[in-house]
Amino acid sequence: MTLEGTLPPELRIEAPDVVRARARRRLWGVGGILLVLLAGVGARGVQLCLLPHEQTITAASTQRWGSVKLAARRGAIYDRNGHRLAASVATPNIVVDPQLVPEEEVDALAAKVARILDMDVADVAERMRRQSRYARLATRVHPSVAARIEELGHLALDVEQGARRYYPEEMLAAQVLGFVDAAGRGRAGLEKQLDEQLRGGSLLLQRRRDLRGYSIDGQRTRDDMMGMDVHTTLDRQIQRMAERALEGVIERSDPVAASIIVLDHKTGDVLAMANAPTFNPNAVEEDPAPRRNHAVQDAIEPGSVLKPFNVAAAIEEGLVSIDSSIDCEGGSYRIGRARIHDDHPHNVVTVGEVIKYSSNIGSAKLAIRLGAEKFTDYMRAFGFTRRTGLPLPGERAGIIRSPERIKPIELATTSYGQGMTATPLQVAAATATLANGGVRMRPRLVSRIEDVHGVPEVIKEPMAEARVISEKTAKDVARAMVTVTEQGGTATRARVPGYLVAGKTGTAEKVVDGKYSASARIGSFMGFIPADDPAITVVVVVDQPRKGSRYGGSVAGPAFAELAGAAMRYLNIPPDPELLGEPIGPGPIEPLEDPGPLRVAWSGSEWTVPDFAGRSVRDVLRGVQGTGLGVELKGSGVVVAQAPPAGARLAPGEKVSVTFQ
């Protein structure tokens, strides 16, 4: 027996060939496995390169690239002469990457930054400890503050260039321009209606990142992403004149609101649109009232300013001429069971004098002769009851009764602007039609919209919509409107020395809570200058004056005169020497549109004194008849003062004093 035979199997010595053969088998086995694995990895690599899965692409992009959405810098708004009215200016924002601020440095760095930014240290530190890659510390800082932050030289701090909307003229044309919110969206005016063009697009900027996720690309400029520029028809200088004129209205009359519109009747261009109260779009307050654009958003009863259009329609239809006679019935005229009145009674006057004396009766007779259908057709042709289409939010259309349902008395009152509504802009556009020889131009506020390279994307040319009346009719009516501002007319305070002014006043009762107010009035004046060769058309509307007179000639006329005189000098239109130095005598006070019967309320023990303002002697006597109140009458004409004031309580037998002029 050999020693090898006595050893256990695990201790037996194998032949070298057997060992080598087994080693080769193992090597080939392991090599085969590695080869298969390598082939699989290679195949996967080929697949990732040639046919990658969408999720793989997304994961790789996320690791390799970062993205940030950049908004375009908002386009500017200009006046007709290229003066900038609204623009976006670069403003530095201070930001921090919290992941780049080691915990041991937070408190010290926060103290330095807080001191520069005038912030609370704890607030800054809290932002630096956030689990994010971006935190904003301050916005719209002064460039010198941004420079001090950069001087700190800390990798985590960065100065990000933002944009802020800036209105260099501050409150000038504020309601027309509008404003933007913190997100850069237009919230009112042109900023809202043309927001898409002004805002432009947005850019999703891809930036490469290193292994730690930090951006290795610099910040890209946004100059090639500018929104479009809007060029308006406004004239900055005339807009300033209009707003200064409104300041005088506010001081003299303390109205609830007021507005002025200036048009170029030859093109329809809006040269100025001013409103009061107003606001500063650089610092918008919570109160929405000053942001209201009364010129387009207030649909009011126009009052007597409607009479020239009614007269024009009657002349155009051949029913009368400007010199035809019309009987004003001595100031009182019955229509059915109702009666209308003139505060300045006349018998037979010319059609032109219906405008001069503002006769309700004369205007009503002309409308009745026209007929309801013709009357409403002409009012619509002048532009009433339809929006002008200006790019301004909230424009009202106004209303007028349909000819099928209008009653004779309603037709009569509508002829002098009661029972229908219109915006001041509609009145201005209709007045411009008279100034333009009977051709209605479409109102225009935006002339063109250009891209960042100055290439026009939108061009709006002046557009003639229709001929409403003949040139002769327009001139006849304009001649009659001149008499309104001459001695004996109702608007002598609207005269401009050296120029002929064609105009018309209006004083309408204001509708409050669905009914006519006993005291609130809307005074207005519309006109154009020079009357013989018009340059501009102006409408002034004063809503509910609470101080002094409430009549259109007194509250709106002076504003027209101030604005028109300044505009003539600005436009280099010389005065007529023959018209300089003419005496201007006092004219009659513009009559209130037929206010209906005067009512004195009985409380059970006392009478409430009504508002007698603008009433005739006859109206006052009729109103107090049967009340037991004594009346002391002073002067003649219409009431300009009373004591005690409206709203006072008087017992039967007590006296009220009324002064007429």
Nearest to 446 by CA among 291, 280, 268: 268
* Phi and psi based region of residue 581 (left: phi greater than 0; alpha: psi -120 to 50; beta: remaining): left
Nearest to 188 by CA among 122, 121, 280, 101: 280
Nearest to 173 by CA among 249, 253, 77, 264: 77
How far apart (Å, rounded) are the C-alpha atoms in residues 404 and 227?
50
How far apart (Å, rounded) are the C-alpha atoms in residues 620 and 610?
10
How far apart (Å, rounded) are the C-alpha atoms in residues 345 and 327?
11
Give Cβ neighbours of residue 448 (< 8 Å, ≥ 6 apart).
231, 456, 458, 459, 460
Give the strand order in the sheet containing 255-264.
269-276, 255-264, 536-545, 515-529, 502-512
Quote the strand ranges of 125-216, DSSP E.
Answer: 135-138, 157-166, 202-208
* Owner of token pair 């041991």: 104
Q: Cβ atoms within 10 A of the Cβ of 207, count?
A: 15
How far apart (Å, rounded) are the C-alpha atoms in residues 459 and 133?
46
Cβ-count burial 306-319 (b if 16+ within 10 Å, e if not): bbbbbbbbbbbbee
Judge contact between 479 and 352, C-beta under 8 A: yes
The two structure tokens encoding residue 180: 């933007």
How far apart (Å, rounded) are the C-alpha atoms in residues 478 and 199?
45
* Owner of token pair 């004239």: 235
Residue tagged active-site, from 88, 253, 259, 304: 304
Q: Is 304 one of the catalytic residues?
A: yes
Helices (runs of H) and strands (runs of E) counted in the chain: 21, 26
Q: Using alpha carbons only, how large is the chain's radius of gyration in Å?
A: 40
How far apart (Å, rounded) are the C-alpha atoms in residues 227 and 87?
11
* Owner of token pair 């303002």: 613
Judge contact between 64 and 217, C-beta under 8 A: no
How far apart (Å, rounded) are the C-alpha atoms in residues 257 and 264?
24
Q: Cβ atoms within 10 A of the Cβ of 493, count?
A: 22
The two structure tokens encoding residue 240: 């300033």
Nearest to 474 by CA among 306, 315, 270, 307: 315
Q: What is the DSSP letter of 287?
A: -
Residue type present at position 554: S
Residues with catalytic function: 304
